[in-house]
Structure 1
Amino acid sequence: MTTIIDEETRSAVSPRTSAVGPRAFDALSSDPRKREAYRLDTYAREGLDLFRSPGDRAWLYATTFVVLKPDAFAGRRCGLILDILAEEGWLPIAARPLRFDPLLTREIWRYQFNAASAQRIAVVDHLLGAGPSLLVLLRDTRREPGLPASVRLTAAKGSADPGAAHGRDLRTRFGRVNGLFNFVHTADEPADVVRELRLFGYRTGSSWLRTALGATVAQPDGPCPARSLLPELEREVPAHDLDLTESLRRLAARGDTWGELARLHATPQRVALWLEALEDTELPGGAARWDVLSVLTGWIECNEPGVAPLLATVSATDWRNNG
């Protein structure tokens, strides 16, 4: 005998696990695994509330963001980065300082940190916590039809790994130093813009974020919303060459733990000793902090061999093939 179960009864027997509709992220991600994962992600769900109307969705295709990280401020790359982005058609429409802490770092990279090495995890909080970051919303003035601003920027940015770099990728032009001193973070595609802006909104304030979503590109002769913030933020971070060899030389002159390490253990094969010291020795202040970070970021392995991130980076090809 066939039993007919009405929809209300079916829901009672098998309750839904998501309040987000099954097609909510279809137009925002080319990755079916991400579409499903983000239906279960609190930040992605909250982020959708910022982008409900057709006009809001159009915003997600025309606009993205870049985060200038503390290493960009230490290396005095921020002005250069904004110059290069403008040359390639990404113009700032709003900007707001923010600060990373361990929780924000792990939530932003929730779907990638499973592949991060223990060495990278040990260092990244010291790096991202070493100074301010700057969230900059960018309007794409050279959009390729069907290709969202975030996807075009991801494709142009290039890999965080210098070994996978090519001469014209943006990170090479920014002067990328190593896998962690790569200066910028961007969202891969519109679904990530939705999720990550919700996360960053906890730091920038929701009212600022809602106002920023309606901002327009500044006039050529007007103040740039990002550049006007750089002088004050740069005063918080000492200028540094981010040079590993020079950092070792400077550290070797110190009379503390870091000086002893620089004198006696100045090879990548001894990085474990440096990481042990990092667990129970306070980093020095000022420029010496960036000396230690230059050594550590230059010597560590960033990823666990053979471990893939939960969600891989999407490509412009993925979007074109799904278009």
Structure 2
Amino acid sequence: MTDVPRSAVPVTALRGLTADPAKREAYRYDTYLREGLRWFARSADPGCPEDVTFVVLKPDAVAGRRCDLILDLLRERGWSPVAATVMRFDPLLTRELWRYQFNAASEQRIAVVDHLLGSGPSLLVLLRDIVRPGGLPASVRLTAAKGAAEPRAARASDLRTRIGRVNGLFNFIHTADDPADVIRELQLFSYRTGWDWCRRSLVRPSAATTGAGQQDTWLRDLLAEVTAEIPAHDLDLSASLGRIATRDDRWARLARDHGHRERIDRWLTELDRTPLPDGPARWDVLTVLTGWIECNEPGVAPLLSTATAEAWTDRMAHSAEESRSAACPL
């Protein structure tokens, strides 16, 4: 009996979109990737998945007032903002976005992440790589430049280090790992944002370049919108703990009686039954929680690992060698 295919996505469909064989196989069965491939095939310029990427400026970037710095550093390194929209996370979006990594997330991280990402709007910014021609895809180059989410793996040159990343959750930005993730994740975001915010930049790449003054105006307006909703905060753990202790509520009692990392379980228990306070105090509590939790389960690997620039370089060299062999048969 002939086996019935379990995927409508051809084996070859992801060959140029990721250097990871495990991802090529897993994404053939991923609904969001399949829908995204269809949308890009019908609506976008053929080179878009390689030439563009995106950055999500998360609520912690807004609270820490890092957004302008992040965008300036991205421009400095060759990624130009060409479209943007305001979006909001909810628990389902978070789990689907990180579907292939959340298996390795600790229970502590899972308990905190929805409170963090749900604490206000995020800004989704489409970026065109003006450095890329002939090189790494825009998303892969940005993945390599931003550095690891975990501070212990940080390098001084990483974008996350330069923007003052605080801890494993207060790392301010999310980006797509490679072109396959650009397609899959923009499709996921489209259920909230639609496509109109970025359609022109994906359909007609030459129309995506605007004057600096025009660009600054539309982006500045969106930044003002998200900033108005989230109060500025220093994201400093010691200062946050001191401010919490002066309050008159359950969080204050925790800060006074259990104000050290070894008592994080008590804080997580409280988080499960007591709403976070409003305003800056919310960010005080989040600063303590994100500073004390362990983000990952020891000894558990994600279903799919982050793509590396080295893997893409090897893949490009292999493809070039195959092309030379095909052109010059022995």
Query: Which bracket does the TM-score occupy, shorter chain normalised?
Result: over 0.9
From 29, 33, 58, give the equivalent of 1:69. Answer: 58
Q: Does 1:202 align with 2:182?
A: no
Q: Deviation digits for residues 3-29 of structure 1, max 9, x if unmatched?
A: xxxxxxx6xx42110011111000000
**Secondary structure of residue in 2 paired with 1:206:** coil
Which amino acid in 1 is paired with 2:112? V
1:62-141 residue pairs with structure 2 within 5 A?
A: 62-141=51-130
State the Cα distance separating 1:206 from its structure 2 match: 3.1
Alignment pair present for 1:190 and 2:179? yes
Deviations 1:242-269 (A, max 9, x none): 0000000000001111000000111000
**Which one has the bigger helix percentage?**
2
1:223 aligns with 2:212: no
- Tell me which residue corresponds to 1:239: 232
2:244 matched residue in structure 1: 251
Matches within 5 A, 1:152-163: 152-163=141-152
> Contact 2:200–2:208 (CA<8 Å) still a contact in 1?
no
Alignment of 1:6-45 (within 5 A): 13-45=2-34
Deviation at 1:143, TM superposition (A): 1.3
8 Å CA contact 1:201–1:209 kept in 2: the answer is: no
Partner of 2:325: none
The amino acid across from 1:313 in the alignment is T
Match of 1:317 among 310, 316, 319: 310
Q: State the alpha-carbon separation in 2 of the partners of residues 257 and 55 from structure 1.
A: 52
The alignment partner of 1:301 has SS state of coil
Q: Match of 2:266?
A: 273
**1:176–1:183 CA contact under 8 A, matched in 2:** yes
* Cα offset, 1:54, TM superposition: 11
Pick the aligned partner of 1:306 from 282, 299, 302.
299
Find the partner of 1:263 among 256, 266, 283.
Answer: 256
* Structure 2 residue 138 is the aligned partner of structure 1 residue 149: yes
CA distance in structure 2 between the partners assigned to 1:136 and 1:218 by the alignment = 15
Instruction: Determine if contact 1:79/1:227 at 8 Å carries over to the other structure.
Output: no
Q: What is the aligned counterpart of 1:295 among 288, 291, 316?
A: 288
How many corresponding residue pairs?
A: 312
* Residue pair 2:90, 2:117 contacting (<8 A) in 1 also: yes
Which deviations, in whole Å up to 9, do the C-alpha atoms of 1:24-71 show, x marking residues without a partner? 000000001101111100000000012217973311111100000000
Alpha-carbon distance, 1:209 to partner: 4.1
RMSD: 1.4
**Structure 2 portions without partners, runs of 5+:** 317-330
Q: Please state whether the residue corresponding to 1:56 is helix, strand or coil.
A: coil
Secondary structure of 1:227's partner?
helix
Q: Report the TM-score, using the length of structure 2 for normalisation.
A: 0.92
Q: 2:39 aligns with which of 50, 58, 61?
A: 50
SS class of match (1:207): coil
> What letter is aligned with 2:117?
L
User: Relative to structure 2, which stretch is displaced further, 214-223 or 185-194?
Assistant: 214-223
Q: Percent identity?
A: 63
What is the TM-score with the length of structure 1 in the denominator? 0.94
Superimposed CA distance per residue, residues 156-211 of structure 1 (whole angstroms, 9 cap, x where no aligned partner): 00011111111110001111000000000000000000100000011111333433
Contact 1:92–1:218 at 8 Å: present in 2 too? no
Name the amino acid aligned to 1:109.
W
In structure 1, distance between residues paired with 2:84 and 2:201? 8
1:5 is matched with which residue?
Answer: none
Letter in 2 for 1:66: V
For 2:36 and 2:243, the matched residues in 1 are separated by 46
Write the distance in 2 (CA, Å) between the matches of 1:277 and 1:212: 45
Say whether residues 1:181 and 2:170 are aligned partners. Answer: yes
Q: Residues 93 and 212 of structure 1 are in contact (CA less than 8 Å); yes or no, is this contact kept in structure 2?
A: yes
C-alpha distance in structure 1 between counterparts of 2:35 and 2:43, whole Å: 17
Task: Report the Cα distance in structure 2 between the residues aligned to 1:46 and 1:61, rounded to whole angstroms.
Answer: 18
Could you tell me how far 1:319 is from its partner in structure 2?
0.2
